[in-house]
Amino acid sequence: MNQPLDDAALDQLFREARTYNGYHDKPVTVEQLHAIWDLMKMGPTSANMLPARMVWCHSQEAKQRLADCAGEGNKDKIVKAPAAVVIGMDQNFHEYLPELFPHTDAKSWFDEDPEGRVEGAMRNSSLQGAYFILAARAIGLDTGPMSGFDNTAADNAFFGDQPNVKSNFISTLGYGDPSTIFDRSPRPDFDKFNTII
């Protein structure tokens, strides 16, 4: 039977975790990138469609390519981060459903529904992007997710040979430097945005 996580785990994943604008000068390893994927792939997606396509910018050259797609306020954050990632979404994810969801012919649900594929790819790659953030936190890293970039430029730079894959959002990754963050923005109590009926 599942047990509640202790306060230290909840703090690391949620209560004390932050979005970072800068990082300590400590490398992120390729093994850590694999560890993040091995956790985030376990999060639920509709019919196990797993539409996220990740491009991990580990080299300085790759980070610079990504920075070239970003708005002015984000360029330095990307270049100076130990790593960054482009979270893309495969709008032809349904081609993999015979392998990923063998229980039924789920591919046929999407064969003639391009709008449904776009919607499913966006919703479920966004979920996977959230799992990425939590997985990174779970292994002791911090993230700086952002949408301040040119999607078309990123698509051309990182998915140019896969026209069915579009960028969703990007993130930096590393060991967060607390001096680079603002005071935490408000987080309202339950009653402000929730209703129980």
In order along its 197 residues, the chain shows pLDDT tens digits of 799 999 999 999 999 999 999 999 999 999 999 999 999 999 999 999 999 999 999 999 999 999 999 999 999 999 999 999 999 999 999 999 999 999 999 999 999 999 999 999 999 999 999 999 999 999 999 999 999 999 999 999 999 999 999 999 999 999 999 999 999 999 999 999 999 99
pLDDT value, residue 113:
97
Token pair recorded at residue 145? 């997710």
What string of H, E and C letters represents the secondary structure of the chain?
CCCCCCHHHHHHHHHCCCECCCECCCCCCHHHHHHHHHHHCCCCCHHHCCCEEEEEECCHHHHHHHHCCECHHHHHHHHHCCEEEEEEEECCHHHHHHHHCCCCCCHHHHCCCHHHHHHHHHHHHHHHHHHHHHHHHHCCCEEEEECCECHHHHHHHHHCCCCCEEEEEEEEEECECHHHCCCCCCCCCHHHHCCCC
Residue 112 maps to a domain: yes
Is 188 domain-assigned? no
Tally of domains in the chain: 1
Tokens 């779970």 identify what position? 138
Beta bridge mates, 120:
none
Q: What is the pTM of this model?
A: 0.97
* 117 occurs within a structural domain: yes
Domain presence at residue 170: no
Cβ burial of 124 (10 Å; 0-12, 13-18, 19+) is buried
CATH of the domain at 46: 3.40.109.10
Q: How far is CA 39 from CA 6, 100, 135, in A?
A: 19, 17, 6
The answer as to whether 35 is a domain residue is: yes
Domain-embedded: residue 139: yes
Classify residue 1: in a domain, yes or no.
no
Compute the distance between CA of residue 137 and CA of residue 175 in angstroms, rounded to an integer: 10
Strands 52-57 and 165-174: unpaired
104 lies in some domain: yes
Q: Residue for token digits 């012919």?
A: 105
Q: List the domain range (segments joined by +) for residue 69.
A: 28-165
